Structure 1
Amino acid sequence: MYILKQNIVIPMLVLSMIVMKAQNSSKVKLITQENIFPENTFQSCHASTLAELSDHRIMASWFAGDHEGANDVAIWTSVLEDGKWSQPKSIANGIQNDTLRFACWNPVLFKNKKGKLFLFYKVGPNPREWWGEIKVSNNNGETWGKAKRLPNEILGPIKNKPIQLKSGKIIYPSSTESVKDDIWKIHIEISDSNASKWNKIAIDNGEFGLIQPSIVEYPDGSLQILCRSRQNVIVETWSTDEGLTWSKPAAISLPNPNSGIDSVMLKNGSQILVYNPMISGKDWWLGRSELRLAISKDGKNWTDIYTLEKHDKGEYSYPAIIQSEDGNVHISYTDNRKNIHYISVDITQLTK
């Protein structure tokens, strides 16, 4: 059942969940909780991403500069090795020539099955006019090749990591925000294993305004997308043909305050989602003061298992989540635009 509140569609079940207090599962064991870099390193930072490198190292990337959209905003990285994060270094910027520079946005790290590390990111004056660029590293991010602009109409992954299918094809969750009418729409992009040949797949967004999808592959080969929406709900759509066609989008039972989410399929077939369990307020940052983990075995029925942040105010948003080869789960997210926070947890007991 749905009700309409100030032109926003909200499932009744979501409203009941918002007032529930999440209890941290005793089976989720906190390993590490820390900021990636010292305070005051950046004036502003946002939109982190994670990838596992060789030798159990974790790389994080984010954009940072004077403020979101400023032309000095660049893409930065740091590597977690032996329990310590390396000093951040800038690996991409929006310099066009000696007199023109644009902001960088939303980096996404991805390592393909052959060990090639990709950095996808956006460059441009705003999310309605940006374009996609790519850099490639063949040595776990020690050095990067030159930036290349993606083909016209191709943006790459907008916020969340792609997945590589058994066939070798890479499936990218993507979206657009139109210039004239401010319409939000998700779509899928598919490339070969080297991200050199691309196709774009349209998705019917139905009644929803959707961006920044997260994608997972289930053991039976089906694909699920979970999306940020303007309707105060997380929205899903499914594919059973490697992303060529998609079901009509539908709301799931979890709220979304017009804020980014991310998910990952665990080795045991369960899915973990990190999200803000609130609805939006009159200002864009309201609804981002609490951040949780939820788990599901079918992508439809969700249980909150861990509260990462819970405050009266503040912004804890734009999470990224991966599972490393050793089974641990790694999460990063924006901490009030002043830092990128990192948490790792042991979920071995939870998934038995």
Structure 2
Amino acid sequence: MKINMRTTLIGFATLLFPLMASAQQAPNDITGNYYLPPVSKPGEGGLLKSELIYELDNRPTPEVHASTLIETPEGIVSAFFGGTHENNPDVGIRISRLVEGEWTWPEEIVNGVQNDTLRYPCWNPVLFQPEGKPLMLFYKVGPSPTTWWGMLTTSTDNGKTWSTPIKLGEDPKIGHIIGPVKNKPVQLKSGRIINPTSLEYIINGNEQDWMVYFEVSDDGGDTWEIIGPVHDGVEFDAIQPSILTYADGRIQAISRTKQGVLSQIWSEEEGETWGEMTALTLPNPNSGTDAVTLADGRQLLIYNHSTKEGKQPNGRNILNLAISENGQDWKPVMTFENEPIEDGYAYPSIIQASDGLVHITYTYNRRSIKYAVIDPNKL
């Protein structure tokens, strides 16, 4: 008899939700061991800066979401999608650059215009700088995440101007190649680039089936090979992985899920094959995360330490940073936000710059993008 692992896990998670109800009053991870620090203030501890890229009373679009950031030789660059609201045809991709400590006005650089009478929304930009190649900006165009396709534009002047976008193409395994679905690619010492990505299929008429896969390139991003999907979509509905690397050559991918937890999956062969997908001990309210491997080998994960159930803070009303040395044992070390708000704090992006500082952006109530800088030596 085949056991429905999805039903089993959901039932188990349901039993856990009462224990996970309040991050301030009681432990709210799976093991019950974590204490969440109070909201950090700039200048205290490791948080050096926290500011909006643009003010709420002077917005380029009614809503924005899904930011990404990269370090260039001329400074930090961020991109995000913006328009009337997510999935509206007027949503395009905007770029803002940090110049002499100030963010430039977010300018739309690409959109989903198909012809004089048809325009589709844009989604989830991802910035990436491959070795010896122009700066890349991946993004998606299409009516929805179940039907979108991947696009790519490049810049040779650190994000000031951009090339005519091209479509990434198709593959028999997955249909449209979409590039990194939310979080940044990694380039390994061998030169291989791995795009962490995922599929959202429609099954049984309207239910979505979520599955993680990877796109790998050994020629600097000119062509892509599809690896996966790497799990069967039964035990975990997982999407939007981020990749961590380890000194012994292993790779870990951490994803959001519908099951109330973050999931993990490991590779020992540069992403060619992957092991079993399992749960981390950290909760997840079905919201995007991001992670980065620090130069000293430690791992940082930015995420919502909550579930969709229970008392506040729940859902996307809290945003946290956790640290780990092995990818298995995580300790929350910082709380960025912990105040109920209409559209929450979500879809973070995190990098470490050449000076060692960690840079973060995330959606602030879908009205602006918030930018934070951390000294990891103080965590």
Please report the TM-score for the alignment, with normalisation by the length of structure 1: 0.92
Aligned to 2:377: 348
Cα separation, 1, equivalents of 2:326 and 2:375: 21
Quick one: structure 1 residues 299 and 61, their matched pair in 2 at CA, closer, same or farther if it must change by over 3 Å?
Answer: same
Q: 1:194 aligns with which of 198, 212, 220?
A: 220
Tell me if 1:180 matches 2:203.
yes
Cα separation, 1, equivalents of 2:303 and 2:107: 28
Kept in 1, the 8 Å contact 2:131–2:220? The answer is no
Aligned to 2:251: 223
Aligned to 1:23: 37
Quote how far apart the aligned CAs of 1:74 are.
0.2
Aligned to 1:92: 110
Give the letter for the 2:353 counterpart.
Answer: S
Quote how far apart the aligned CAs of 1:201 are.
0.6
What percent of counterpart residues are identical? 42
Tell me if 1:35 matches 2:30.
no
Aligned residues: 346
Tell me if 1:323 matches 2:337.
no
Q: 2:181 aligns with which of 144, 158, 164?
A: 158
Aligned to 1:308: 336
Quote how far apart the aligned CAs of 1:145 are.
0.9
Quick one: structure 1 residues 309 and 193, their matched pair in 2 at CA, closer, same or farther if it must change by over 3 Å?
Answer: farther
Tell me if 1:9 matches 2:26.
no
Give the letter for the 1:195 counterpart.
Answer: G
- 1:179 is paired with a residue of what secondary structure? strand
Q: Unpaired segments of 5 or more residues in structure 1? A: none
Deviations 1:93-146 (A, max 9, x none): 000111110000000000112252100000000111000000111221121111
Q: 2:68 aligns with which of 49, 54, 59?
A: 49
Aligned to 1:275: 303
Aligned to 2:146: 128
Q: 1:232 aligns with which of 249, 260, 280?
A: 260
- 2:113 is paired with a residue of what secondary structure? coil
Aligned to 2:274: 246
Cα separation, 2, equivalents of 1:6 and 1:115: 44
Deviations 1:303-338 (A, max 9, x none): 010001011344001000000000101111111110
User: How well do the aligned residues superpose, as a CA RMSD in angstroms?
Assistant: 2.3
Deviations 1:237-263 (A, max 9, x none): 000001011011000110000000000
Aligned to 2:366: 337
State how 1:45-84 maps to structure 2 within 5 Å: 45-55=64-74, 57-84=75-102
Kept in 1, the 8 Å contact 2:191–2:220? The answer is no
Cα separation, 1, equivalents of 2:299 and 2:93: 29
Quick one: structure 1 residues 280 and 8, their matched pair in 2 at CA, closer, same or farther if it must change by over 3 Å?
Answer: farther
Give the letter for the 2:51 counterpart.
Answer: E
Q: Which runs of 4+ in 1 moved over 6 A?
A: 2-6
Q: Answer 1 or 2: which has greater strand percent.
A: 1
Kept in 1, the 8 Å contact 2:285–2:315? The answer is yes
Kept in 1, the 8 Å contact 2:10–2:259? The answer is no
Give the letter for the 2:145 counterpart.
Answer: P
Cα separation, 1, equivalents of 2:218 and 2:301: 27
Deviations 1:9-36 (A, max 9, x none): 3685984435854126998422211110
- 2:274 is paired with a residue of what secondary structure? coil
Give the letter for the 1:280 counterpart.
Answer: K
Give the letter for the 1:183 counterpart.
Answer: D
Kept in 1, the 8 Å contact 2:133–2:220? The answer is no
Deviations 1:175-198 (A, max 9, x none): 011133410001011013431111
Quote how far apart the aligned CAs of 1:8 are.
6.6
Kept in 2, the 8 Å contact 1:260–1:319? The answer is yes
Cα separation, 2, equivalents of 1:112 and 1:28: 33
Cα separation, 2, equivalents of 1:43 and 1:291: 22
Kept in 2, the 8 Å contact 1:174–1:213? The answer is yes
Aligned to 2:3: none
Kept in 2, the 8 Å contact 1:169–1:190? The answer is yes
Quote how far apart the aligned CAs of 1:52 are.
0.3
Cα separation, 2, equivalents of 1:4 and 1:187: 24
Cα separation, 1, equivalents of 2:183 and 2:373: 18
Cα separation, 2, equivalents of 1:11 and 1:198: 42
Kept in 2, the 8 Å contact 1:108–1:121? The answer is yes
Quick one: structure 1 residues 98 and 7, their matched pair in 2 at CA, closer, same or farther if it must change by over 3 Å?
Answer: farther
Cα separation, 2, equivalents of 1:330 and 1:115: 23
